[in-house]
Structure 1
Amino acid sequence: MFFLLALLVSGCAGMKSVSIIRGGSAEQDVLSQVESVKANHLAHFLTVKVRINDSSEDLLFLVDTGAITVIDKQTADKFTFTDSVVNEFTDIAGNKKEVRLVRVGKMSIGKIRVSDCAAAIIDLKKHSPRIDGILGSNFLRYFKVELDYQNSQLVFHGNSGNQTLDGFIAIPIWQNMKQGFAPTTKCILDGSIDVVCMIDTGHDKAVSLPLSIIQKTTGFKDGKYIESNGGMSGGLFGTISKSYLIKAEKISAGNLTINNSPVTTNASDNLMTLGYAYLKNFRIVIDYPNSVAYFKPFPELKPESKYLSFGFRCSKEKGKTIVTGIWKGSVADNAGLSIGDELVSLNNKDVTTLSMMEIMEMMNSSSSLNVSYLQQSSAKIANSTLH
């Protein structure tokens, strides 16, 4: 999950960090309003324009319900923040890293304003020079928020906003502070396995589970899974070393049921994620103040069917784009791609000119992919067309 923050509470530097994360308030004059905000799409994310403090500059933020709010380091240098503290934590690979946490005086989207919102300062430009930040659930938690993928908009409903929810499936949620106040619920997997589930618009796939829970499923025990060479999932703070893919017969969250869903491993110790590839099939309203989420399916949309995609994952390492994971038996595996191969071009575009977000967008939207790569084993250029 590309932008899931495996977060900051566990690495907090004392009570000041906890105070910053817990702080914030929505300005009272917006709580009773209904505000529609135009959004665009970047890879699997909705993006919105955000303003910080009294600046008139529109900043591009990704909407990620599974994260705390983030401001890109280069963007943050333009502003002054009243409170800040440095947090140290350990990433997936076991490396210690530091993240600065600040209190933002004012953040606004259109007429929607939140004061004293916590934000982590992280280098996002290496993933895409277009990204200025991530709008997380610690901002959204004051509102009833509609995520409208079909019409490309966010709709903010104040606490007193009246909305007809006929035909919606309602499920209870709570806010998980350790994941930036992400909306979280209880699920039952295969009829008997209890699991905590996070509604995570930052995760591009349909459903993911920790390996410890996947290993309890009937499909895994029966050997009905696909495994990877290298890792096929991860985040800003590292990539897991190996991934598995199974099909879950049934996942239930209250009255919401998911049948025969592909499920892959994630880097969490105990959290299931419900991601974009599933969420895009619904009109979704997350009522943070009243602890309930509503789902209404779009009949014309279908769940993800080409789950393996082109079968490989890559990352930027010291200016190079390196293959870091491959599903066994996938088209990439059959074409001869290997861990450590360096991508040269995708669909005839030089990868040095592409950000990771642009690469993700290309891989998610293309029906075929022309890949030119430098083989690590032979130091020769190879070319393959993946379908």
Structure 2
Amino acid sequence: MKSIAYCLLCCVLLVQSISTLAITLKKEEDIHGFHLLHGRKTTRIPFELHSNLIVVPVKINASDTLRFILDTGVSSMMLTNSELAQKLGMKSVRKMAIEGIGGGQPISADVTIGNTFVMGQMRGLKQTIVVMDDNVLRLSELVGTQIHGIFGYELFSKFVVTIDFQTSELTLTTPQHYKYSPKKGSKLPITIERSKPYLDAVTVFSNNQEMPIRVVLDTGAGHALMLNTAASHLQLPQKVIKAQLGVGLGGEINGHIGRLSKVRIGQYELNDVLATFPDSSSLGMKLSPNSPQRHGNLGGEFLRRFKVTFNYEEGYIVLKPVRRFLNEKFEHDMSGIDIRAKGNDFRHYFIESITENSPAHQAGLQIGDQLMLVNHEPVQTLTLSEIYRTFQQKEGKEVQLVVRRDGRLVVAEFALKRVI
């Protein structure tokens, strides 16, 4: 009898468990936005850092694992591959034009609805995803690994997000379960305007000027600091170089690169900081008169020197310095080479451009050369970020490249030279 009673009790408990699980799953199905599965309060997501950009594994609908850049500066989730969207059955409800930083024309895109977005133990149902008609950004070639899209605001608006650049790990915590304490770092107020985080606790020092500035915190930018001189009335540093600064949604971003003697963020000061200064045609004309006032943005090369926590709901960030990163020098390329990654695995590296009279130019390297060895290391074992770091080492350091040109191998040797 006890045995039967025990079995009945087990059956009741099992039914209750199944019912509870069913109710939980039903509640999760009813949630449209991003949420953690099974009532979790927190979860961790591994990421890779490429060119100072945070790349995370995600899935859309019934896809295999895709790779998205986590970008605080983007308000809408974007997929850069229209063919992939068709394979995943993503249905367009309307067309739209996307305009971004750069000198090109607006990009045509499709707005798709009803998508499922999964990242580890985090899921979003009935998500709207913008699909670009053409992959004009060519992010995979620039970053050196397969990139399928970009997202940001949807995640940061739902969770407290901690980015640990030492462990290459994101921690997502539901806002009601996150508790700040001073041991987590310095707390600085931010405001969220048009889906972007703005920080006022920044001061730059240059040309004997000290100027407080307002910046967007932008994890989707690889540089340290970008400044709009027209908005900030900050003069260019005495020494600058002209450069293509990157690629935006609107095309190439051109301008200058220089150094600021010091940048203060909260209580922390970083010296001899590299800053980029876009031309007005690339930046100023693209900012609507109704856009929130800003003087520039802080990107990944600056932010990676801290453990950063974003709390959009409470309106603050937490910065905890990583000592071994905080003291690293800010360096620009010293070779004169710009590289693009090609091939299915993006481990075939080709010289895209060469600065005239640079060390690489004087060593006889040419546009179109395919890199085979970097300091005796096969390039298949190196990421694009690792190759660029080789070109940013100590001035005077010797570099040897073996390249393939017209079916033959060519050896080039040169010493790195600091240009800024």
Sort the TM-score into its range (normalised by shorter chain). 0.7 to 0.9
| Cα deviation digits, residues 308-360 of structure 1 (max 9, x gap) | 22254636699975317x4x9xxx7255369x9614033538xxxx99x9545
Distance 1:196 1:303, change over 3 A: same
Determine whether 1:232 maps to 2:239: no
Q: In 2, Cα distance between the equivalents of 1:236 and 1:317?
A: 19
Distance 1:147 1:184, change over 3 A: same
Map residues 1-387 of structure 1 onto 2, 5 A cutoff. 25-27=33-35, 33-53=41-61, 55=62, 57-67=64-74, 68-73=76-81, 74-82=83-91, 84-89=93-98, 92-122=102-132, 123=135, 124=138, 127=141, 130-167=146-183, 168-177=185-194, 181-186=195-200, 187-190=202-205, 193-212=211-230, 216-217=234-235, 220=236, 224-228=238-242, 230-252=243-265, 254-255=266-267, 257-266=269-278, 267-269=282-284, 270-310=294-334, 312=336, 314=338, 321-323=351-353, 326=355, 333-336=358-361, 342-346=367-371, 348=373, 358-364=383-389, 367=393, 369-370=399-400, 383-387=412-416
| Cα deviation digits, residues 12-55 of structure 1 (max 9, x gap) | xxxxxxxxxxxx623486786111112233332232221223x2
SS of residue matched to 2:254: coil
Unaligned stretches of 5+ residues in structure 1:
1-23, 376-380
Q: In 1, Cα distance between the equivalents of 2:128 and 2:186?
A: 32
Confirm or deny: 8 A CA contact 1:347 1:370 kept in the other structure. no
Q: In 1, Cα distance between the equivalents of 2:118 and 2:341?
A: 34
* Per-residue deviation, 1:255: 4.6
Q: In 1, Cα distance between the equivalents of 2:360 and 2:220?
A: 30
Distance 1:245 1:37, change over 3 A: same
Confirm or deny: 8 A CA contact 1:87 1:99 kept in the other structure. yes
Confirm or deny: 8 A CA contact 1:342 1:374 kept in the other structure. no
Q: In 1, Cα distance between the equivalents of 2:38 and 2:239?
A: 49
Kindly provide the amino acid, as one letter, of the partner of residue 299 in structure 2: G
Q: In 2, Cα distance between the equivalents of 1:361 and 1:235?
A: 23
Confirm or deny: 8 A CA contact 1:107 1:113 kept in the other structure. yes
Unaligned stretches of 5+ residues in structure 2:
1-31, 285-293, 344-349
Give the alignment's TM-score, normalised by structure 2.
Answer: 0.67
* Per-residue deviation, 1:284: 0.9
Kindly provide the amino acid, as one letter, of the partner of residue 102 in structure 1: T
* Per-residue deviation, 1:363: 0.9
Q: In 2, Cα distance between the equivalents of 1:383 and 1:197?
A: 42
Confirm or deny: 8 A CA contact 1:69 1:139 kept in the other structure. no
| Cα deviation digits, residues 271-298 of structure 1 (max 9, x gap) | 4221222211211111122211100112
Give the alignment's TM-score, normalised by structure 1.
Answer: 0.72
Kindly provide the amino acid, as one letter, of the partner of residue 86 in structure 1: K
Q: In 2, Cα distance between the equivalents of 1:382 and 1:90?
A: 43
Distance 1:40 1:374, change over 3 A: closer
Structure with the bigger percentage of helix? 2
Q: Percent identity?
A: 16
